[in-house]
Amino acid sequence: MSVSYRQPGVVLTDRRFSVPLDHHDPAGERIELYGREVVASDKAGQDLPWLLYLQGGPGFGAHRFVGRQAWLDRALKEYRVLLLDQRGTGASTPANRQTLPLRGGPAEQADYLARFRADSIVRDCEAIRREVTGGAPWTVLGQSFGGFCAVTYLSFAPEGLSAALITGGLPSLDASADDVYDAAYPRIERKVAAHYARYPQDVERARRIAEHLLQHDVVLPNGYRFTVEAFQSLGIMLGRSDGSHRLHFLLEDAFVRTPRGPALSDAFQEEVQGMLSYAGHPLYALLHEAIYGQDPGPTDWAAERVRARFPQFDAAKTLTGDGPLLFTGESVHPWMFENDPALRPLRETAEDLARERGWAPLYDPDRLAVNEVPVAAAIYHDDMYVDTAHSLRTARAVRGLRTWVTDEFEHDGVRAGGPRVLDRLLALARDEE
């Protein structure tokens, strides 16, 4: 039963859907999806076209807006919006350390999670579209991984789309996970250099924290083992609009004086554990490299293997000299499943997913080459999370796709830019610019 309620300027309706776990076996096991319908208060009774929002990730539920924040304000001028919690996320049937043992052991859990990639998400969208729109096509807005899903949608079910709007999420159609990280580490290094140019005092602060972590075993209040590699991974913030500033504020108050000497402050540890924990989004860690898998070969912890090709990221070696410590970015490593108490029970499952699974292709280049759906994509120049060269190559491979390449925003431009990013993408898709 649907439940409707109000926030300032909007009417919200909770929607729940039943879909097959395996769309190749529609009579088999089913899981639940949750979506939040949003419509402007003054348009609640109108027959409006639908916009489907696909959140970035993988593994994150749709953003919980209050009222008409960010891009949602622009969308509500003409659409009903469905904020979908993709399978396994948010209020949809959960997949985490608490629920996955219901599937059996690590091998059974990995087999279950293999059905949580973009191809299954698109089939979910098609299954619920008929119920939501009565069969009419809808516009999809995909942020980051949601943009990857939009390209999969264009590949396998373009008849379900009236338009596709992609922001920070044009994937390579053929790059392996190794290719993705070979391109990523130099980008990350540039972002770190830009941070230190803005905040040169952070060079010494970061080195001091790293030295402390190499000399002490630090366990955060939630049980997270805070190693130097974990500290470096906080560089993931540098791909966001306010990330460099947030990292600076975090570093400036890291230590306090104690009877036993300098120690990492409780306030610092409390903030760090919230940034590092995967308790709220374990699928991000479990499936992150699988979103790049499109061939019979294993992903095999690509980010960890490729990092070894970039020795400048080795903290211990850095601290033997006087150079700046390099942070890392959007990557998942085996040690995360040892350090994070929310991931420890899933270590064997993650190992199984990293082994050879014969991943099916997620994109159809031939179909994209004859695409007829209006598509517009915002490509953020030197995006830390999605390689610009990969995105531009894909843009050229999708017939009719129009791009907006900009360095005005970081990866989270659709949030930080308010209505402007969505307004620009709609204009491009409609050939108004």
Number of neighbours of residue 211 by Cβ within 10 angstroms? 15
- What is the residue whose two structure tokens read 């009236």? 162
Strand-by-strand arrangement of the 30-40 sheet: 3-7, 10-20, 30-40, 80-85, 50-54, 138-143, 161-167, 375-380, 401-406
Q: Average pLDDT, stretch 53-68?
A: 95
Strand partners, 35: 15, 84
Quick one: which H or E segment has residue 416?
Answer: helix 413-416
Q: Are 55 and 63 in contact (CB under 8 A)?
A: yes
Is the pLDDT confidence value at 433 over 80?
no
pLDDT tens for 79-106 read 999 999 999 999 999 999 999 999 999 9
Is the pLDDT confidence value at 410 over 70?
yes
Q: Average pLDDT, stretch 206-232?
A: 97
Is the pLDDT confidence value at 168 over 70?
yes
List the catalytic residue out of 85, 119, 124, 144: 144
Q: How confident is the model at residue 297 (pLDDT cuts 50, 70, 90)?
A: confident
What per-residue confidence (pLDDT) applies to 1? 62
> How far is CA 11 from each of CA 3, 44, 46, rounded to the nearest angstrom?
10, 7, 12
What per-residue confidence (pLDDT) applies to 225? 98
Q: What is the per-residue burial (b if ≥16 Cβ within 10 Å, else e) of 316-326? A: eebbeeeebbb
Q: How confident is the model at residue 418 (pLDDT cuts 50, 70, 90)?
A: confident
Quick one: which H or E segment has residue 113?
Answer: helix 106-113
**Among this protein's residues, is 195 annotated catalytic?**
no
CATH number for 3-173+363-429: choose from 2.60.40.10, 3.40.50.1820, 1.20.200.10, 3.40.50.720: 3.40.50.1820
Q: Are 82 and 129 in contact (CB under 8 A)?
A: no
Is the pLDDT confidence value at 219 over 90?
yes
Is the pLDDT confidence value at 3 over 90?
no
List the catalytic residue out of 85, 119, 383, 412: 383
What per-residue confidence (pLDDT) applies to 295? 79
pLDDT tens for 306-338 read 999 999 999 999 999 999 999 999 999 999 999
- Which of 136 and 261 is assigned the larger pLDDT? 136
Give the whole-angstrom CA distance, residue 7 versus residue 83.
15
What per-residue confidence (pLDDT) applies to 2? 79
Question: What percent of the chain clears pLDDT 70, i.e. is strictly above it?
Answer: 100
| pTM of the full structure | 0.96
Q: Average pLDDT, stretch 258-274?
A: 96
- What is the residue whose two structure tokens read 């350090």? 339
**Among this protein's residues, is 383 annotated catalytic?**
yes
Question: What percent of the chain clears pLDDT 90, i.e. is strictly above it?
Answer: 95
What per-residue confidence (pLDDT) applies to 406? 95
pLDDT tens for 25-38 read 999 999 999 999 99
Q: How confident is the model at residue 296 (pLDDT cuts 50, 70, 90)?
A: confident
List the catalytic residue out of 212, 333, 390, 411: 411
Is the pLDDT confidence value at 125 over 80?
yes
The mean pLDDT value of the chain amounts to 96
Give the whole-angstrom CA distance, residue 383 versus residue 239.
7
Give the whole-angstrom CA distance, residue 379 versus residue 395.
10
What per-residue confidence (pLDDT) applies to 241? 94
Q: How confident is the model at residue 358 (pLDDT cuts 50, 70, 90)?
A: confident
Q: Average pLDDT, stretch 240-251?
A: 97
> How far is CA 263 from each of CA 131, 308, 315, rounded to the nearest angstrom?
56, 30, 20
**Among this protein's residues, is 411 annotated catalytic?**
yes
Is the pLDDT confidence value at 357 over 80?
no
DSSP per-residue letters across 229-264: HHHHGGGGGGGSTTHHHHHHHHHHT-EEEETTEEEE
Q: Average pLDDT, stretch 259-288?
A: 96
Quick one: which H or E segment has residue 163?
Answer: strand 161-167
Q: Average pLDDT, stretch 116-123?
A: 98
Domain boundaries, the chain: 3-173+363-429, 177-354
